[in-house]
Amino acid sequence: MGKLVFDTTPGVETNELDEAYTTFAEEYDKYHGGSSVPQTTIAKKECMGLISPKPGVKFLDMTVGTGNATMYFFEYQDRINRNTVSTATLVDLNTNMLSIAKKRLGDTKWAKDGRIEFIKGNAEHMPEISDNSFDIYCCYLGMHNMPNRNKVLREAMRVLKPGGKIYVVEFDTGTWRIGKAIRGLLFQFLELIAGGSVQNRTMTLRIHHSGRAFPSPPAFVQEMKDAGFAMENNGYRGIMYTLGALFIGTKPTE
């Protein structure tokens, strides 16, 4: 069998990944949404506890998938802060994923109160969003799909308020052993979603390829620093039984 070659030209790779997630949207929601893989629910709730959003903040959910992070954000505000004014903006490049998020959240009290906005957009360039708009920028397992991470991080810097925070969750590929285990788990997960068809297997390989290409935690911390974010300590902490990493950066106030 010949080796698959992926075009890593940014525009081409973005289109390939968008096509892949269009293929997977419904099954991704079934498995990654938490109903079949409870570990994903546990991990996202763990992250929201670490983020510990304050009452009344404006939350940007980048690469929303099917809306889980936003749901846990509002649940945290309801349960912990007893807050009814915080808002969330959900951004995703993929129409199918965004449609599922709308279906999941569209009938909630948060949406009915006008506290949720959905935007189909590219993380590299978001003209719909003004400078200094958000308190929190959250990207959960989506940064590895960004061909131009430097542009994404600089755009995140632009839309965050001074003192605002960016939270990025990714698999920790920093050591050979952990990286190998994660690549295996990721591929098994995608194979489960793909259902065995040739087309879906090709899409699986495309997404798997993007996950493998993500840098080690220290290297990504440096990318965040290069974009202008202030990083505390080593810039990240282990989550998901150390299989994942939560990166935390702050937009300087000056």
Round to whole Å and give the CA distance between 139 and 89. Answer: 12
Query: CA 134, CA 73: separation in Å to the nearest integer?
Result: 14
Q: Is residue 198 scored above 60 in pLDDT? A: no
Q: Which residues pair with 62 in a beta bridge?
A: 91, 139
Would you state the pLDDT for residue 212?
Answer: 62
In the beta sheet, which residues pair with residue 122?
125
pLDDT value, residue 171:
78
What pLDDT, in 10s, does the model give residues 39-74? Answer: 566 777 888 999 999 999 999 999 987 788 999 999
Name the band, by pLDDT with cuts 50, 70 and 90, for residue 29: low
Q: Give the residue carrying structure tokens 């763990």.
A: 46
Q: Where are the domains of the chain?
A: 10-250
pTM of the model: 0.80
Read off the amino acid at residue 188: Q
**How far apart (Å, rounded) are the C-alpha atoms in residues 198 and 4?**
13
- Tell me which of 240 and 178 has the higher pLDDT: 240
Position 216 scores a pLDDT of 87
The rounded percent of the chain whose pLDDT value lies above 70 is 67
Looking at CATH, the fold of the domain delimited by 10-250 is given as Rossmann fold (3.40.50)
- Give the per-residue pLDDT at 188: 56
3-state helix, strand, coil in the chain (%, to 5): 50, 20, 30
With a cut of 60, say whether residue 246 has pLDDT above it.
Answer: yes
